[in-house]
Amino acid sequence: MTESAAMPSQSISPESAQRKVRISVLRYNPQERGSVPRMQTYELEEADGMTLFIALNEIREKQDASLQFDFVCRAGICGSCAMVINGRPGLACRTLTRSLGSEITLAPLPVFELIADLSVNTGKWMRAMSERLQAWVHMKQIEVDISRLEERMEPELAQKIYELDRCIECGCCVAGCGTARMREDFVGAVGLNKIARFRLDPRDARTDADFYELVGDDSGVFGCMSLLACHDVCPKALPLATQIAFVRRKMAGAGWK
Ligand code: SF4
Ligand code: F3S
Ligand code: FES
């Protein structure tokens, strides 16, 4: 009898057991002539700590080099790997396959322009929204004076602004929102969160009347039907419900004046 044969057989716990996962991807390339939307299923062995991002890369390397999807940071920072995972928007690089069943369905985020397969142009949408909302600090003092001392900001206020600045513009909140699906011009929770952020900033010279001009209609805060999917799906757990309610209150007040 060999030494290894004498060893007691190791039991495999359900957590560490390898399983096969089947990933069905909605494939379509509007740039390619003759391409039609279809589901394509790939099967692969699940590895320890496998994320959807790792799984998709493995599929692209070993099974299908034509599969298109986006990623940059692999760490939940750049927002580019957002997609619809089993019907819910989320980040591929922050989703463990282990947290899902063995049958997984992936689709591109709706609302945004489709590039191909799971790749969408969130950048174009975010840029248009940011330009429309003038999502930058409108300084009170226009002239630059390099000898002037920096303006102090209370740490608590800086922390509040930082909290809202954590948005990575992934587009999950927009993709999950019924209003955004119905209205092309809706600025989404991401846009309303930006208004809340700049309204909080004491360096921004804009008044509520100015913000009302930007979001005081149905394409802005009054188009929001409080569906709150945005709040549920935001991968950075931003307090979107609170921020939207805050902007709505302030804009309703500005509208009465
Ligand atoms: Fe993504 Fe959240 Fe920013 Fe929306 S608010 S774009 S879900 S990080
Ligand atoms: Fe849409 Fe969120 Fe309002 S899901 S309707 S932006 S509360
Ligand atoms: Fe950057 Fe997923 S790759 S957030």
Ligand 3 site, residue 216, Cβ cutoff 6 A: no
Query: Residues 155, 163: contact at Cβ < 8 Å?
Result: no
Measure 226 CA to ligand 3 centroid, in angstroms: 28
Residue 77 tokens read as 């920072």
What pairs with residue 45 in β-bridges? 20
Measure 233 CA to ligand 3 centroid, in angstroms: 15
Please write the tens of the pLDDT for every residue from 5-21. 333 344 444 555 689 99
| pLDDT bracket for residue 227 (50, 70, 90) | very high
197 vs 165: CA distance, rounded Å? 7
Please write the tens of the pLDDT for every residue from 73-91. 999 999 999 999 999 999 9
HSE-CB for 83 with a 13 A CA cutoff:
30
Ligand 2 nearest-atom number relative to CA 186: 6
Show the ligand 2 pocket: residues with CB < 6 angstroms. Answer: 177-179, 189, 224-230, 244
149 vs 70: CA distance, rounded Å? 43
CATH 3.40.50.720 fits 133-139+153-256, yes or no: no
Q: Taking the CB of residue 140, how many other CB atoms lie within 10 A of it?
A: 11
| pLDDT bracket for residue 149 (50, 70, 90) | confident
4 has pLDDT over 60? no
Going from N- to C-terminal start, the domains of the chain cover 20-120, 133-139+153-256
219 vs 224: CA distance, rounded Å? 8
Fold for the domain defined by 20-120: Ubiquitin-like (UB roll) (3.10.20)
- Ligand 3 mutation pick, 78, 85, 96, 119, max ligand atoms within 8 A of CB: 78
Whole-number average pLDDT of the chain: 92
Angle formed at CA 199 by CA 194 and CA 170, multiple of 5 degrees: 10
